[in-house]
């Protein structure tokens, strides 16, 4: 929202220091995004008349202009513009002038002929962001004077405010001025009014058929109007505030809205002399001021000509093209209404038409601002129409939905206990009253009647915020609460951090791909797509599916790096997946994935081993269940009891081929909701067994179809409590071992528990190991 | 004591002198071993003197001579150890020379150069932030990324069709009731879940991933990260909020940094504020939003606003990482490009 310093200073005696005002605005929560100084006169630029113009045969794009700057001397100036003609008065930047953009006007020549200055456009003078040629001044302008004086251009400052959603009132200068006046302790004058209603009573008929949507509808009658151009200052202020000057009536209407936050509309009172506010009929059409014919919805609110019942405006949004005032208009019907915010917002959204009016109505306007607005309207109009008269007897129709002032109580104690600072009750009252609240105090209770321009204030905390704002957040002080809570990571969070460090220690980089997938991404990596959730309004179709697996994302990142010459790369991700569930929310869990380009089944098993070691967990490998999308011969599920917690192995070579990834890729996926939430008990120490240990080296021949883990388990059981460790130290297939079999050599380190094992005990142990192995399907290798 | 000079005295002195010369002249460890065993062995000169001791009649002289034999053996031992150390030093030095390597060459080998992995910059920033808040007495709460409308909006004082909902460009998830499930637009819904699940007092921060319907550019991503703080206790004040932000500022950024609060608006807090951090050079960074938890929000969390009060604050994590490392384009941070990632040890 753009706010002009000049208007603020008309409304209150603020310090003539834009920086101080900007600081105040920020401290009041009216954040200044940008401050723009405009209309600064440029010394050295004077008005000059073009006496004659010449073309040079060798310079087609420029014109030679001979100008008189009032001193009777003819100056020659090269000019690239085309919109001027002899007799025009234009701005001349004389030699030595420093332009607003920093350029200095020096004697520059073209084709050896010097230019004694530069003729200027609005852009070059810093008056506008765009222009299409020289600034042509009124032809009766005096020569040799500042064009800024000729145009009556005000030196001004534009504050661009980033208004928060609650401050509806600050969409008009008046709201901003009110806060600033309170801040600086100066009285608020408000807009200058020099046109109280007078003349004969003139009341036009108004009927409201939609009382819930329209809370108030007022019509003020203005006679003595003649439509023409606006005064320069009005056009200039509107331009600074981002609006185009149309004519004196429309400009007055717009300026009043910008000043008072009261959107209003001026009808030709001879064309529309009575009004009806009703809901539109579905399918009814209206051609709005922007020239578009709009088909209305049954929830759209329509302002109608009371006699024909035809629409003359989409309420709160935009007027009808055909009811616009014309050159012939001599009397106005000025509409100032209060519309319920939501219907206007929906109407604006439906028609894709967010107008200056709808922005204000959807935030909430003041139902009692209409009279001030009408008076200000006519005050401005009188500068061009001295006979304009605001007639007494304006029509005011209000319905039950019209907001009424609310009264809010808050105790002084509550203010202190919420803000943590003691503020005298007199100060509280004076703060609230300075911004238009009507406040009384009885004992500890402050009772405040909220002005109707502050629809955001309806309960005690709203008053507390107003007090805090004007007391000054910086004056409240800084304390630290006495916490009885101890800061710490939860068990799960601590274990997640251990996991991250292990992964980093394994040389793996963390990836963070998008959690959104395209249709087919899951199928590409061999995973089902039937349990996915979709985004109803995705940014792009390729990001419309919520992932149920981390696999597509990290494999894509792997491929990306591989194609950028980083073939040996290991990535991990810890992130959420969101498979559909039978509840309202998905079955969201945290997962871990590790992929290593060039890694194999050993890589992933070693990684899992390190993780299990670090987190004190263990799982069983189950190769009988082949995980989807993984290498059928080189992958297994990880199970804790009957619960599958992950998969380990290598990615299916077909998947890699489809993705265009070269070489093998090892993969480990683990459901962290299981393993991070475990709380392993502290390991209890065993005394060191100091009896000498012995190694039994036993090689067995076993069918390939039986997992080595079966044999290991049998040996472990057979060796019992004497077993210290068991290592598979050799696997052999080939000569001497039948096809379909392999030799597995284990080293069992055994140790007596109460005494050194004797030779015969060792022999006995070996015998039972061999027997157990045989039961498991393995025979001692000869 | 008489100092007798017997023939054995002379033989012993001669044997010792000869032995020391031989030891010194040994040129290898092996040769030294041979010499020493010849000198001190059963057939060696010392041994023969020792065996002739019995013939010495004078008891005193015999005793003295016995002592001298022991001294001679000890002296030979010392000489041997010395020479042995010298010879081994020479011998190892040739081994050492033959094993010489170029350390710079080895330093460049793949095995040595293998670096540790990298945590994502967001994870690094998140852990640093968590640690600072743990130090300030906070615990860490987490919540789902796919949320109900209730937790993301309604419980945060934004009933259906509340205009402030447009402050967030929301991504909706398809569901039976249209619009009832969203990708959380902020970490604030975790506030409600914590209020419902944890008995007060609550001192918690809630880091996590959030989503907006925003086209990625150099400073925005549709998926990014926030950290939310929530304090609920008896008698918590706005001054406590300002003080906690100040403590955080000094703990995280350094003692030379300060903070300020500016009035602002959020539906779920009142009074609300933006908080800014002042750098050493006097410039300000706009960091995030905060305020006193709105009574409606306390009620939605199952707490009585007359008994409990509290404050909340929140800010973006990605921006902290971006600022810290001078990253120009935030999209680089999410490229998973190892050429980018490996810079940040």
Per-residue pLDDT, averaged over B87-114, amounts to: 88
Residue A137 DSSP symbol: B
The pLDDT value recorded for residue A8 is: 97
* Chain A contact present for B237, CB below 8 A: yes
Do residue B144 and residue B291 come from a single domain?
Answer: yes
> Are the C-beta atoms of residues A188 and A178 closer than 8 Å to each other?
yes
Q: Domain of residue A379: give its range.
A: 205-398
Q: What is the CATH number of the domain that holds A762?
A: 3.30.70.380
Averaged over B129-147, what is the pLDDT? 96
Buried/exposed A424-461: b ≥16 CB within 10 Å, e otherwise:
eeeebbebbebbbbebeeeeeebbbebbbbbbbbebbb
Nearest to A729 by CA among A713, A705, A749, A752: A749
Domain identity same for A603 and A742? no
Q: Searching chain A, which residue's CA lies closest to the CA of residue B175?
A: A584
- Please state the domain count of chain B: 2
Q: What is the CATH number of the domain that holds A90?
A: 2.40.50.140
Q: Is B130 in the same domain as B78?
A: no
As a whole number, the mean pLDDT across chain A is: 93
pLDDT interval class at B63 (50, 70, 90)? confident
pLDDT higher than 60, residue A508: yes
Residue A499 shares a structural domain with residue A535:
yes
One domain, residues A95 and A167: no
Indicate yes or no: CB of B117 within 8 angstroms of CB of A507: yes
Q: CB of A401 within 8 A of CB of A214?
A: yes
| A588 contact residues in B (CB cutoff 8 A) | 144-146
CA-angle at A404, arms to A402 and A408, nearest 5°: 145
* The two structure tokens encoding residue A611: 């993780």
Q: What average pLDDT score do residues A18-42 get?
A: 93
Cβ-contact A249, A377 below 8 angstroms: no
A657-700 pLDDT, tens per residue? Answer: 999 999 999 999 999 999 999 998 888 998 898 999 999 999 99
CA distance B223 to B206: 16
pLDDT tens-digit readout, A80-127: 898 999 999 999 999 999 998 889 998 877 888 888 899 999 888 887
Number of domains forming the structure of chain A: 6
Q: Is residue A482 part of a domain?
A: no
Q: What is the mean pLDDT of residues A503-525?
A: 96
B116 vs A588: CB contact, 8 Å cut-off? no
Nearest of A212, A205, A165, A190 to residue A403 by alpha carbon: A212
Q: Report chain A residues whose CB lies below 8 A from the CB of B149.
A: none
H or E element that contains A558: helix A551-562
Q: Answer yes or no: is pLDDT of A321 > 90.
A: no
- Kindly report the nearest CA distance between residue A420 and chain B, in angstroms: 5
Mean pLDDT, residues A515-541 taken together: 95
Q: Is A526 found in the same domain as A663? A: yes
Alpha carbon of B134: minimum distance to chain A alpha carbons (Å): 4
B201 & B301 share domain: yes
Three-state secondary structure of A88-106: CEEEEECCCCECCCCCECC
Give the per-residue SS3 of A365-381.
CCCCCHHHHHHHHHHHH
Q: What is the model's pLDDT at position B141?
A: 97
Q: What percent of chain A has pLDDT over 70?
A: 100
Q: Is residue B212 included in any domain, yes or no?
A: yes
Instruction: Write out the DSSP string of A185-214.
Output: T--B--S------BSS----EEEES-TTTE
Q: Do A480 and B243 touch (CB under 8 A)?
A: yes
> Chain A partners of B344 at a C-beta cutoff of 8 Å?
none
Q: What rounded mean pLDDT belongs to chain B?
A: 91
Is B113 contained in some domain? no
Span B166-184, average pLDDT: 92
Say yes or no: A637 and A762 in one domain.
Answer: no
pLDDT single digits (tens) B250-290: 999 888 899 999 999 999 999 999 999 998 888 998 999 99
Within the 46-105 window of chain B, which residues sit less than 8 Å (CB to CB) from chain A?
none
- In this structure, the answer to whether residues B220 and B250 fall within a common structural domain is yes
In a domain, B107, yes or no: no
**B241, B302: one domain:** yes
Query: How many residue pairs from chains A and B have C-beta atoms closer than 8 A?
Result: 235
Residue A154 has pLDDT above 80, yes or no: no
Average pLDDT, integer, range A207-215: 96
Does position A741 have pLDDT exceeding 80, yes or no? yes
Which of B233 and A236 is assigned the larger pLDDT? B233
The pair phi, psi for residue A335, each rounded to 5°, is -90, 130
Domain for residue B332, yes or no? yes
Selected for mutation to probe chain A from B311, B336, B339, B342 (highest A CB count within 10 Å) is: B336
Tell me how close the Cα of A317 comes to any Cα of chain B, in angstroms. 17
- pLDDT at residue A151 is higher than 90: no
| Chain A residues in contact with B251 (beta carbon < 8 A) | none
Q: Which of A675, A704, A731 is the last residue of a domain?
A: A675
Closest C-alpha to A537, from B39, B336, B185: B185
Which of B137, B176, B271 faces A485 most closely, judged by CB atoms? B137
A576 with B134: Cβ contact below 8 A:
no
Note whether A512 contacts B122, CB cutoff 8 Å: yes
Give a yes or no: residue A591 inside a domain.
yes
State the pLDDT at residue A761: 93
Statement to judge: residues A660 and A700 lie in one domain: no
Asked if A628 and A738 sit in the same domain, the reply is no
- Is A359 a domain residue? yes
- B199, B207, B208, B188: which is closest to B294 by C-alpha? B188
- Token digits of residue A623: 């190769």
Beta-bridged to residue B202, according to DSSP, are B232
Q: Do B185 and B286 reside in the same domain of the chain?
A: yes
Q: Are residues B31 and B157 in the same domain?
A: no
What are A554's two structure tokens?
A: 């990290």
Partner-chain contact B173 A560, CB within 8 Å: no
A552-556 mean pLDDT: 97
CATH code, A7 = 3.30.56.10
In a domain, B106, yes or no: no
Q: Which residues of B112-131 are buried (b: 16+ CB within 10 A; e: fewer)?
A: eeeeebbbbbbbbbbbebbe
Higher pLDDT, B65 or A613: A613
- At A275 the pLDDT is 96
Query: A511 and A571, same structural domain?
Result: yes
Is the residue at A190 inside a domain? no
Nearest CA in chain A to B151: A585
Q: Are A51 and A32 within one domain?
A: no
Burial of A714 (0-12, 13-18, 19+ CB in 10 A): buried
Closest chain A residue to B161 measured between Cα atoms? A342
Asked if the structure places residue B115 within a domain, the reply is no
CATH number (domain holding residue B302):
3.30.930.10
Q: Are residues B275 and B205 in the same domain?
A: yes
Quickly tell me which residue has 């200095």 as its tokens.
A104
B135 at interface of A, judged by CB pairs closer than 8 A: yes
Least confident of A183-192, A552-561, B108-117: B108-117
Give the span between the Cα atoms of B208 and B186, in whole angstroms: 9
Binary contact (B146, A515; C-beta < 8 A): no
Instruction: Looking at the structure, tell me whether residues A381 and A513 fall in a common domain.
Output: no
The pLDDT score that the predictor gives to residue B1 is: 41
Nearest residue of A to residue B308, measured between CA atoms = A418
**pLDDT grade for B3, boundaries at 50, 70 and 90:** low
Residues 6 or more apart in contact with residue A267 via CB below 8 angstroms: A312, A323, A325, A332, A333, A334, A335
- Domain range for B55: 7-100
Q: Is the pLDDT of residue A140 over 90?
A: no
Structure-block tokens of residue A298: 């049954």
Query: Is position A147 within any domain?
Result: yes
pLDDT digits (tens, 9 = 90+) for A299-317: 999 999 999 999 999 999 9
- Rounded CA-CA distance A686/A544 in Å is 56
Tell whether B232 and B134 lie within a shared domain: yes
**B137–chain A Cβ distance below 8 A for any pair:** yes
d(Cα A348, Cα A709) in Å, to the nearest integer? 70
The side-by-side arrangement of strands in the sheet containing A318-319 is A205-208, A274-279, A301-305, A311-314, A318-319
A174/A228 same-domain check: no
| C-alpha span between A647 and A272 (Å, rounded) | 77
Q: Are residues B85 and B212 located together in one domain of the fold?
A: no
**Mean pLDDT, residues B234-240:** 96
B235 touches chain A (CB under 8 A): yes
Residue A200 forms part of a structural domain: no
Q: Chain A: nearest CA to B307, how far in angstroms?
A: 11
Is residue A687 domain-resident? no
User: Which of B137, B209, B215 minimises the CB distance to A487?
Assistant: B137
Do residues B253 and B298 both lie within one domain? yes
Please check whether residue A365 lies inside any domain of the structure.
yes
Whether pLDDT at B2 is above 50: no
Residue A411 clears pLDDT 90, i.e. is over it: yes
Instruction: Phi first, then psi: give them for residue A500, nearest 5 degrees.
Output: -60, -40
Q: Do A295 and A258 share a domain, yes or no?
A: yes
CB distance A387 to A331 below 8 Å: no
Same domain, residue pair B79 and B165: no
């Amino acid at each position: 929202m753009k706010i002009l310093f000049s208007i603020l200073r008309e409304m209150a005696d603020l310090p003539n220091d834009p920086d101080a005002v900007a600081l105040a605005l920020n401290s009041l929560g009216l954040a200044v995004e940008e401050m723009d100084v405009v209309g600064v006169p440029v010394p050295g630029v004077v008005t000059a008349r073009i006496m004659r113009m010449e073309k040079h045969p060798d310079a087609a794009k420029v014109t030679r202009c001979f100008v008189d700057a009032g001193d009777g001397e003819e100056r020659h100036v090269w000019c690239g513009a085309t919109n001027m003609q002899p007799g025009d008065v234009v701005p001349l930047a004389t030699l030595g002038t420093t332009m607003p953009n920093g350029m200095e006007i020096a004697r520059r020549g073209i084709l050896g002929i010097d230019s004694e200055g530069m003729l200027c456009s609005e852009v070059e003078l810093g008056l506008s962001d765009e222009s299409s040629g020289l600034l042509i001044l009124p032809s009766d302008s005096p020569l040799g004077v500042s064009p800024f004086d000729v145009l009556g251009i005000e030196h001004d400052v534009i504050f661009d405010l980033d208004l928060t959603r609650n401050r509806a009132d600050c969409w008009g200068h008046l709201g901003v001025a009110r806060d600033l006046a309170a801040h600086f302790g100066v009285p608020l004058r408000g807009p200058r009014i020099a046109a109280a209603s007078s003349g004969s009573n003139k009341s036009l008929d108004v009927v409201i058929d939609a009382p819930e949507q329209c809370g108030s509808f007022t019509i003020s009658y203005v006679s003595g109007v003649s439509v023409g151009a606006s005064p320069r200052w009005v056009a200039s202020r509107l331009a600074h505030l981002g609006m185009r000057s149309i004519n004196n009536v429309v400009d007055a209407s717009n300026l009043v809205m910008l000043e008072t936050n009261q959107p209003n509309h001026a009808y030709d009172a001879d064309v529309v002399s009575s009004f009806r506010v009703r809901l539109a009929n579905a399918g009814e059409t209206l051609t709005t001021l922007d020239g578009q014919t709009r088909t209305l919805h049954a929830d759209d609110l329509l302002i109608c000509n009371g006699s024909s019942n035809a629409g003359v405006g989409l309420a709160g949004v935009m007027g009808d093209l055909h009811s616009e005032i014309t050159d012939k208009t001599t009397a106005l019907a000025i509409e100032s209404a209060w519309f319920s915010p939501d219907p206007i917002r929906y109407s604006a959204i439906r028609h894709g038409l967010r107008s200056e009016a709808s922005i204000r109505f959807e935030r909430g306007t003041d139902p009692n601002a209409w009279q001030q607005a009408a008076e200000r309207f006519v005050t401005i109009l009188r500068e061009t129409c001295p006979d304009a008269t605001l007639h007494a007897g304006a029509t005011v129709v209000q319905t039950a939905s019209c907001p009424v002032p609310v009264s809010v109580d808050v105790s002084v104690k509550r203010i202190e206990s919420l803000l943590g600072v003691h503020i005298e009750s007199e100060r509280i009252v004076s703060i609230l009253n300075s911004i238009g609240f009507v406040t009384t105090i009885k004992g500890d209770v402050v009772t405040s009647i909220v002005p109707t321009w502050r629809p955001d204030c309806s309960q005690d905390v709203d008053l507390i915020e107003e007090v805090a704002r004007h007391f000054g957040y910086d004056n409240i002080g800084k304390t630290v609460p006495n916490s009885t809570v101890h800061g710490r990571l939860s068990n799960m969070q601590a274990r997640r951090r251990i996991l991250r460090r292990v992964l980093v220690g394994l040389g793996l980089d963390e990836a963070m791909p998008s959690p959104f997938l395209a249709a087919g991404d899951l199928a590409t990596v061999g995973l089902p797509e039937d349990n996915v959730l979709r985004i109803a309004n995705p940014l792009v179709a390729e990001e419309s599916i919520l992932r149920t697996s981390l696999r597509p994302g990290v494999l894509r990142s792997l491929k990306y790096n591989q194609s950028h010459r980083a073939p040996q790369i290991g990535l991990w991700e810890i992130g959420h997946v969101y498979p559909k569930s039978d509840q309202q929310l998905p079955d969201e869990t945290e997962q871990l994935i590790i992929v290593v380009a060039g890694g194999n089944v050993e890589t992933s098993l070693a990684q899992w081993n390190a993780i299990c070691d670090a987190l004190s967990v263990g799982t069983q490998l189950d190769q009988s269940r082949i995980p989807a999308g993984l290498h059928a011969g080189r992958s297994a599920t990880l199970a804790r009891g009957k619960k599958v917690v992950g998969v380990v192995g290598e990615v299916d070579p077909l998947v890699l081929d489809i993705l265009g990834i070269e070489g093998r890729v090892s993969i480990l996926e683990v459901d962290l909701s299981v393993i991070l939430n475990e709380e392993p008990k502290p390991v209890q120490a065993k005394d060191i067994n100091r009896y000498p240990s012995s190694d039994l080296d036993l090689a067995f021949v076993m069918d390939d179809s039986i997992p080595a883990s079966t044999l290991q388990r049998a040996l472990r059981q057979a060796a019992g409590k004497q077993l210290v460790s068991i290592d598979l130290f050799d696997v052999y297939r080939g000569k001497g071992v039948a096809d379909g079999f392999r030799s597995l050599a284990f080293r069992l380190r055994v140790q007596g528990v109460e005494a050194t094992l004797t030779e015969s005990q060792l022999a006995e142990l070996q015998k039972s190991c061999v027997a157990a192995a045989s039961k498991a399907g393995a025979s001692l290798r000869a | 004591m008489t100092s007798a000079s017997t023939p054995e005295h002379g033989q012993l002195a001669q044997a010792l002198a000869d032995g020391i010369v031989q030891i010194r002249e040994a040129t290898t460890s092996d040769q030294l071993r041979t010499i020493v065993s010849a000198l001190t062995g059963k057939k060696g000169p010392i041994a023969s003197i020792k065996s002739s001791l019995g013939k010495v009649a004078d008891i005193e002289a015999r005793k003295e001579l016995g002592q001298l034999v022991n001294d001679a053996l000890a002296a030979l031992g010392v000489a041997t150890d010395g020479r042995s150390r010298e010879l081994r030093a020479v011998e190892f030095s040739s081994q050492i020379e033959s094993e010489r390597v170029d350390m710079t060459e080895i330093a460049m080998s793949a095995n040595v150069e293998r670096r540790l992995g990298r945590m994502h910059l967001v994870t690094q920033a998140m852990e640093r932030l968590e640690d600072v808040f743990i130090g300030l007495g906070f615990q860490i709460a987490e919540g789902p990324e796919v949320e109900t409308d209730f937790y993301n909006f309604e419980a945060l004082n934004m009933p259906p069709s509340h205009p402030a909902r447009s402050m967030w460009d929301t991504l909706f998830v398809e569901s039976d009731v249209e619009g009832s499930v969203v990708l959380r637009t902020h970490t604030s819904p975790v506030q409600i879940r914590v209020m419902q699940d944890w008995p007060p007092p609550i001192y918690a921060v809630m880091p996590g991933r959030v989503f907006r319907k925003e086209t990625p550019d150099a400073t925005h991503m549709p998926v990014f990260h926030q950290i939310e703080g929530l304090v609920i206790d008896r008698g918590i004040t706005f001054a406590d909020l300002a003080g906690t932000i100040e403590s955080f500022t000094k703990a995280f950024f350094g003692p030379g940094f300060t903070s300020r609060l500016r009035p602002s608006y959020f539906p779920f807090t009142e009074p609300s504020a933006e908080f800014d951090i002042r750098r050493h050079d006097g410039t300000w960074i706009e960091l995030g939003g905060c305020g006193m938890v709105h009574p409606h929000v306390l009620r939605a969390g199952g707490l009585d606003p007359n008994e409990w009060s509290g404050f909340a604050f929140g800010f973006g994590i990605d921006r902290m990482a971006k600022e810290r490392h001078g990253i120009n384009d935030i999209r680089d941070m999410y490229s998973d490009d190892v050429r980018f990632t490996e810079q940040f040890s």
